[in-house]
Structure 1
């Protein structure tokens, strides 16, 4: 796969995924709406940061929240603190957890914490997977939705059963809610209800929210006070974080209520993909605003075909794909961009995709 695929995607007028191309204007729009003399934050203190922390704590139903420059920092700190409290330095999570595949073994190298992988890579872990490993773990991390397998979610009953089991066995539960906002429409519950039985929760502001960067860690007051100490140890207590906070607040306010629309649009888009020869989605019917798109292995010159289709219809399908043993895959996450595509152009995109695949089969 060459850079040409990504470059072609960027040049298209319309795009299937996310909120469209990111630029400096994403922050400029926010800054232009703020009074020029508004006081900024200073080493984690000030109305601009503390009011936002309180606001998100209320949304998540937790006693206290702390703003972090990154989710990687927030989650490693949370798991370390739960391990310290339990005096058990073992945590369990899905094999495709962010900490396992994207963080260069930070949890293991920085904290000497042993990780236990639950279940298989291509599915959600279950209560039976959890029972098999025993109770000698300090914390169970649950990602909602599970990003790398197409935004899948356990049913509410399955999730509740796991959380009850953990409480009964004195296992702390941490919610990797990088995309938590996207789970609410499927569960048909408020965010504070989803978070209620978790001991700690992390949410991101740059993924589905579309902010510049930043994260919130939320939980019991004393736990969160201690997290500030670790934040300083990690070098995350920057002199000011207001560009992150302002964009997080601005885009969260505007997009958190759109998650139901994104969810409905993801089901519509998945139908389009599943109607094309040699393409299918996982899940077939999405349970969040995201899913994975799979292409058959016997499609020849896939990159050239995608480039040709995107140029012809001016719709960005994907900037990348990964090769698997049995085919190719990329992920789709619905945001504001999808709703801007005229229906006729969307139909033409998939007609053209189907035509070109049939030609090269």
Structure 2
């Protein structure tokens, strides 16, 4: 880490007001989740018991699926989903976006552990379209769609396009899996329930540590026979721990606390993006967010922007980001997701921070 990057990180951590997220991932997050839980509550054991089965049933109902299984990680859940559909279809071919989590963040787990062969659809800088799906050729067992597409700013297809892809896949016998790590975050934009969106898909994964802000954990939902088979693979993957209750209780607590705040986070994301877009040498992707997350792009070098953000944070107490990613020698960006913290920032502090940011960016 360069000196500038270290200084930016220190300035962000010291800032009393931070734009994104729910706060630091400290032990208090777990303590809060357990505060209202009776000491006599019995833990789950190897995937059974009232605690885990009750939460799985609750999530199956929310997603409109027959059944759901709690997993310690989404990486495990999604690889298993694609493996099941691949086996059932008798094909090693699955399709997804070039910047899909399975392709760029999992050390080729899908290929090395399951020997599946991904077909990368669309250019990396745009969404998968119905045309891409129709042209992907024969033999694809399952298509994975990520809503929103995180690595390109959290973009979303229009709902009509999503419906058309779903219809085409069902007509062609292609299984459709939803990477819904941030499913709840996109519902305000679509104006749909989780069950309505999930009805377009044969299997659905959701995360409990992204917008929900839990410790860790995921749900994989679908038909009863699909989820029963996923439990076998969960054991094979080493995910069937003797007890998962710290993750289940925190997931349940923060889900119930925050799922109804997604419309607020979405409105605040649009407000914040407008502030960025009003500054020199800054643009957001998308320009108008479609969820609580978006990317902030600077038309200046990473070194220059680190210095500017550090100065603004130290002078105004508003922390923008702990780190930047370099696009090229003359540009950089970072990802931002609105959570509980944003609403606690006084408007006067926001105005001071963005006023200073605009001035320094214009002078750079």
Superposition TM-score tier, normalisation by shorter sequence: over 0.9
Are residues 299 and 76 of structure 1, via their aligned partners in 2, closer, same or farther at CA, if it must alter by over 3 Å?
A: closer
Secondary structure of the residue aligned to 1:110 is helix
Secondary structure of the residue aligned to 2:257 is helix
- For 2:121 and 2:73, the matched residues in 1 are separated by 25
Match of 2:99 in 1: 96
Match of 2:349 in 1: 345
Q: CA deviation at 1:299?
A: 7.6
- For 2:281 and 2:153, the matched residues in 1 are separated by 18
Q: CA deviation at 1:41?
A: 0.6
- For 1:70 and 1:195, the matched residues in 2 are separated by 20
The CA RMSD over aligned residues, in Å, is 1.1
Match of 1:305 in 2: 308
TM-score (normalised: structure 1): 0.98
Aligned match of 2:168 in 158, 165, 170? 165
Does the CA contact (< 8 Å) of 1:208 and 1:335 recur in 2? yes
The equivalences for 1:1-361 within 5 A come to 1=2, 2-297=5-300, 301-325=304-328, 327-360=331-364
Are residues 356 and 49 of structure 1, via their aligned partners in 2, closer, same or farther at CA, if it must alter by over 3 Å?
A: same
Report the more deviating stretch, 172-181 or 133-142: 133-142
Q: CA deviation at 1:307?
A: 0.8
Does the CA contact (< 8 Å) of 2:302 and 2:326 recur in 1? no
- For 1:182 and 1:302, the matched residues in 2 are separated by 29
Are residues 331 and 346 of structure 1, via their aligned partners in 2, closer, same or farther at CA, if it must alter by over 3 Å?
A: same
- For 1:41 and 1:298, the matched residues in 2 are separated by 51
- For 1:110 and 1:166, the matched residues in 2 are separated by 26
- For 1:217 and 1:86, the matched residues in 2 are separated by 19
Q: CA deviation at 1:300?
A: 6.1
- Structure 1 gap ranges (5+): none
